[in-house]
Structure 1
Amino acid sequence: MPRLVLSALAAVLVLCVCAASAVYLTGRSRPVPPARSEPERRAPVVFVLGDSYTVGIRGIKAERAYAAETARLLGWQVVVAGMARTGFAGTGGTGETFASLYTEQLAWRPTPDMVVVSGGHNDVGQPPGLVAQKARRLMETLQQRWPRTQMVLMGPLWGGDPGPKALRVRDVLREVARTMRIPFVDPLAGRWITGNVRKRTGNAGHLIRADGTHPNPAGNRYLAQRLVDDLRAMRLDRPVLGRTKVAYSPPSPSPSTGTGHEQAIPGQGDTPRLTPESRRRREAEQP
């Protein structure tokens, strides 16, 4: 009988030791939860509506035109919309304007962080008052459709030194931006493209195609960098829906250029604000 009791006690002791060991090992082998990683920052969604400069032409796909190149530099998710030969009032024989293209290509899409409307080149043959009216109506439509989205209006691009008609279109678009308190990007005032491609003057000689109007691949990359510089100066390079609210800033006074047109970039004084890298690049591009 004592031997049986001792055997039972020994068995109980062994079970207790095994249970304790199991609890100890389970506690030691419990997987450590992975460290929390920072959520990936969402890329801004930007719509760009424009003419052939924006959507490209034969030989320049939309993915390599300045709008897509800008998105590539800034890490945007971009939707490029528009059509060659069109403008705010001008149709170029297509039967389309920016307003109709907005309805067809953009109005049905989810809300973006920012919309850039870029044009005016194909409006030089239209009455300036009509261009202003159409531009205002389009920008009002965009604001009503997406009230929390940052809007940007960009004046006409040109393949060299602009003439008086181009400057008049630029002036009425800039006035629309001013009265609606929308940021305005002004490639003509910034002298993004200068000279004449046929005369091989200014930077047009190596940035513009033989047609004298449209940028070549290097020109599109250059225009994209100039736009990036201006957007960064205005703090519009990383728009966030409902949080980015940048308005038009009036231009600083500058001496008359003799053309009757103000050439200062709104909100940036007489000349664009450049980083040292941008300044070196621009100097290297001068012939």
Structure 2
Amino acid sequence: MRRLVISAIAVLLVLGACAGSAVRSRSPWRPADAVRAAHRPPVVFVLGDSYTTGIRGLRPEQTYAAEAARRLGWQVILAGRAGTGFVGTGMSGRTFGTLFDEQLAWRPAPDLVLVSGGHNDVWYPPGLVELNARLLLGKMKRRWPRTRVVLMGPLWGGDPKPAALVVRDVLREVAGELAIPFVDPLRGRWITGSVRTRKGNARRYIRADGTHPNVVGNRYIAARLVADLRRLPGVLPGR
């Protein structure tokens, strides 16, 4: 009888230990997972040209897109290639549409996609720029129906030439048709004057090539972008 009692107690102790171990192994994970999910940084894709991805002498992490991500607490993925656009292909032979398929479309849905371009499309028919922009942005919205999409018009290294304004107008119309918020650096006169004439703020923010922003210029453009995004209702993730 005594042996039976001792055996029963031993079984209960083993079962209790197993149950306690199970509770200890499960209970920390559920709250921790919930905390991590609640505080997960927004995932943002930025698709663009050399302004977004960087050029020789300016690394991707120094571009306006990376700086904006730091300021807003984004987990950012930079996509695109130098010289590209909705129609322009640069040296890569790829448009934004092709680069979207290769670099972004296969990824899980982000919280926000920012498409920044048009600078390299000024040499092409505006109607073709309009068509390609509409196709790409429409594809994005269908691919990730819950993801917010923002379109930013052409960046320029100073006062824009008329062709840049034409491309900007075309992209703004497409954004309006698709109910996509539009950020307009040309209308906001983010960069003024020119490096050549040493007028406006271009002499401070733009490299000697007259086109691309330097490190300080990228920080400045990031600040302007962040300010515009904060003014757009319902655009920034978590707001």
Gap runs ≥5 in structure 1 = 1-33, 245-287
Cα distance in 2 for partners of 1:82, 1:100 equals 9
Confirm whether residue 135 of structure 1 aligns to residue 133 of structure 2: yes
Contact in 2 for aligned 1:228/1:237 (Cα 8 Å):
no
Which residue is 2:206 aligned to?
208
Gap runs ≥5 in structure 2 = 1-27
Cα distance in 2 for partners of 1:182, 1:88 equals 16
Which residue is 2:101 aligned to?
103
Cα distance in 2 for partners of 1:83, 1:236 equals 29
Cα distance in 2 for partners of 1:151, 1:145 equals 11
Contact in 1 for aligned 2:44/2:74 (Cα 8 Å):
yes
Which residue is 1:277 aligned to?
none
Cα distance in 2 for partners of 1:209, 1:238 equals 30
The DSSP-based 3-state class of the residue aligned with 1:81 is strand
Runs of 4+ in 1 over 4 A off after TM superposition: none
Contact in 2 for aligned 1:196/1:204 (Cα 8 Å):
yes
Q: Return the structure number with greater helix share.
A: 2
Cα distance in 2 for partners of 1:237, 1:138 equals 19
Which residue is 1:229 aligned to?
227
After TM superposition, the structure 1 = structure 2 runs for residues 199-278 of structure 1, keeping only pairs within 5 Å, are: 199-235=197-233, 238-240=236-238
Cα distance in 2 for partners of 1:206, 1:85 equals 23
- State the one-letter code of the partner of 2:93: G
Q: TM-score, normalised by structure 2?
A: 0.83
Q: TM-score, normalised by structure 1?
A: 0.70
Cα distance in 2 for partners of 1:236, 1:71 equals 17
Deviations 1:180-204 (A, max 9, x none): 1100000000000000111110000
- State the one-letter code of the partner of 1:198: R
Choose which of 37, 43, 46 in structure 1 pairs with 2:44. Answer: 46
Deviations 1:250-286 (A, max 9, x none): xxxxxxxxxxxxxxxxxxxxxxxxxxxxxxxxxxxxx
Cα distance in 2 for partners of 1:235, 1:59 equals 36
Deviations 1:226-252 (A, max 9, x none): 000000111456315xxx7xxxxxxxx
Contact in 1 for aligned 2:148/2:235 (Cα 8 Å):
no
Cα distance in 2 for partners of 1:97, 1:202 equals 32
Which residue is 2:77 aligned to?
79
Which residue is 1:183 aligned to?
181
Which residue is 2:13 aligned to?
none
Contact in 2 for aligned 1:195/1:202 (Cα 8 Å):
yes
- State the one-letter code of the partner of 1:167: L
Q: What's the Cα RMSD here?
A: 1.8
Deviations 1:60-117 (A, max 9, x none): 1001101000000110000000000000011124210000000110011111000000
Which residue is 1:9 aligned to?
none
* Structure 1 residue 163, shift from structure 2 partner: 0.8
Deviations 1:161-195 (A, max 9, x none): 00110000000000000111100000000000000
- State the one-letter code of the partner of 2:148: Q
Cα distance in 2 for partners of 1:236, 1:220 equals 25
Choose which of 101, 111, 127 in structure 2 pairs with 1:113. Answer: 111
Contact in 2 for aligned 1:74/1:237 (Cα 8 Å):
no
Contact in 2 for aligned 1:99/1:138 (Cα 8 Å):
yes
After TM superposition, the structure 1 = structure 2 runs for residues 53-64 of structure 1, keeping only pairs within 5 Å, are: 53-64=51-62
Larger Rg: 1
